[in-house]
Amino acid sequence: MRRFDFAGGTSVVTGAASGIGEALAHGLARRGADLVLLDRDADRLAAVVAAIRADHPDRPVTTHLVDLADAAATTAVAEEIRRSRPRVRLLINNAGVALGGRFDQVTLDEFGWVIDVNFRAVVRLTHALLPALKAEPGAHLVNVSSLFGLIAPAGQTAYAASKFAVRGFTEALRHELVDDGIGVTSVHPGGIRTRIAQSARVGSGVPAEEFEADRRQFEKLLSIDPAVAAEVILRGVERRRGRVLIGWSAKLPDLLARLAPASYGRVLAFALNRAPRPAAVPAPHRTAGPPTAPAPADGPGQPA
Residue 266's pLDDT band, with cuts at 50, 70 and 90, is confident
**Stretch (H or E) spanning 63:** strand 61-65
| Mean per-residue pLDDT, 216-239 | 84
- Write the DSSP symbol of residue 36: E
Residue 287 confidence (pLDDT): 30
Which residues are known to be catalytic?
Answer: 159
Determine the 3-state secondary structure of 12 from DSSP.
strand
| Mean per-residue pLDDT, 141-148 | 96
Residue 278 confidence (pLDDT): 38
pLDDT tens digits, 176-225: 999 999 999 999 998 766 656 566 677 878 877 766 666 666 666 666 88
The residue among 107, 14, 106, 150 whose CA lies nearest residue 69 is 14
pLDDT tens digits, 56-100: 999 999 999 999 999 999 999 999 999 999 999 999 999 999 898
DSSP symbols for 86-142: S--SEEEE-----EES-GGGS-HHHHHHHHIIIIIHHHHHHHHHHHHHHTSTT-EEE
How does 197-231 read in b/e, with b if 16+ C-beta sit within 10 Å?
A: bebbbbbeebeeebbeebbebbbebbebebbbbbb
Residue 221 confidence (pLDDT): 64
Residue 110 confidence (pLDDT): 96
Residue 297 confidence (pLDDT): 46
Residue 248 confidence (pLDDT): 83
Cα separation, 195 vs 138, whole angstroms:
33
| Mean per-residue pLDDT, 240-261 | 90
| Mean per-residue pLDDT, 170-176 | 98
Determine the 3-state secondary structure of 34 from DSSP.
strand
Residue 80 confidence (pLDDT): 98
Residue 146 confidence (pLDDT): 94
Q: Kindly report whether the global pTM for this prediction surpasses the value 0.85.
A: yes
Domains, the chain, ordered by start: 10-271 (3.40.50.720)
Cα separation, 56 vs 58, whole angstroms:
5
